[in-house]
Amino acid sequence: MKIIPVKVDSNQKERMPYNDATFPVDIWTDVYDNFVDVTLNCHWHSDFEFSVLVSGKLDFYVNGIHMPMKTGDCIFINSNTMHTAQQAKDSHGTVIKGVAFPTSLFVGNASTTVYKKYFDPISTSSIQGIVIPSHTPFAGRMTSLIEEIHNLDGADFGYELDCMSVLIQLWKDTATYISESNPDLLKNKVTRKNEERAKKILTYIHENYEKELSVDDLAKQANISRSECFRCIKHFTNKNPMEYINEYRLANAARLLMESTLSITEIGLACGFNSSSYFGKMFKKAYGVSPKQYRL
């Protein structure tokens, strides 16, 4: 099994893998059996995200809020919102299809009528994520639009226009659904104090994972106590601080095993493991194979 890591910058912000940077639309299919611990690591991005669960069950966490999903359910995740997901323990073969895009795809700046009327009310609201049950008409509509996006051929003339047409319909339907089913959510503005704390801590981990790290070091970055640090990281990542650190170190080690010619000992040291034997033990526990076998 090869890990498929979420690519993030030093702030734990996901770098969306656009095929064309001038046309910022990301389209993907995630197979959770391909993820270590069948888990998509905690991350965030400035894009709006829409997904449909094609098979299996997921435990989605959006800013620490548990949002379970079953086959056929859809989910909308607001921009700049931390989220993670794990295949449910009683599930297997979980597959999810998604699409994401930033407001810049449709509007040039925040002063336009389109942005103020249709995007700003949602992006600045208390809405973090919404699961739309499979039995609702909107879930069926959202599923069809996501499938339509996935079925477009990027080589066809007019692909970008067709893609934008589907996405704007998806956004219009989402805005309509929210305004009709959860209008009060649009009235409340989001507060991100705890989220910003978590981002500071995760940023520090990503910039210093090769060093010896302690919970005290992490707590200091957000100016909080050790106990609050534990609660904060657990809330957003569903892991305690050291579990998250080791998982991130191992993900980077897996990437180096695939992409570099460094020795296994050098990779272990570069990723914060002072002992090659401990590195090998932790890697095999997470990936099911030794670092040497993984590299083959």
Domain end position, chosen among 187, 212, 241: 187
Query: Is residue 14 assigned to a domain?
Result: no
**Local confidence pLDDT in tens for the 296 residues of the chain:** 444 444 544 444 444 556 777 899 999 999 998 887 788 888 888 899 999 999 999 999 998 889 999 999 999 999 988 899 999 999 999 999 999 999 999 988 888 999 998 998 888 887 889 999 999 999 999 999 999 999 999 999 999 999 999 999 999 999 898 888 776 665 655 556 788 888 899 989 999 999 999 999 999 999 999 999 999 888 888 889 999 999 899 989 998 998 999 999 999 999 999 999 999 999 999 888 999 999 88
Domain end position, chosen among 134, 161, 187: 187
Spell out the residues 6+ positions from residue 243 whose beta carbon is closer than 8 angstroms to its own: none
Shared domain check, 222 and 105: no
pTM of model > 0.75: yes
Coil, strand or helix at 284: helix
Query: How many whole angstroms separate alpha carbon 167 and alpha carbon 219?
Result: 41
Query: Is residue 21 assigned to a domain?
Result: no
Query: How many whole angstroms separate alpha carbon 145 and alpha carbon 142?
Result: 5
Place of tokens 């197979």: 31
Q: How are the residues of the chain apportioned to helix, strand and coil, as percentages rounded to the nearest 5?
A: 50, 20, 35
Tokens of 230: 């534990």
Q: What Cα–Cα distance (Å) separates residue 277 from each residue in 3, 22, 246, 290? A: 21, 46, 15, 11
User: Considering just the CA atoms, what is the radius of gyration of the chain in Å?
Assistant: 20
Query: Is residue 10 assigned to a domain?
Result: no
Query: How many whole angstroms separate alpha carbon 82 and alpha carbon 235?
Result: 11
How many separate domains does the chain show? 2
Query: How many whole angstroms separate alpha carbon 92 and alpha carbon 90?
Result: 7
- DSSP code of 116? I
Instruction: Give residue 55's domain range.
Output: 26-187
Tokens of 129: 């994520």
Query: Is residue 2 assigned to a domain?
Result: no
Query: How many whole angstroms separate alpha carbon 196 and alpha carbon 38?
Result: 26
Shared domain check, 247 and 150: no
Query: How many whole angstroms separate alpha carbon 53 and alpha carbon 96?
Result: 4
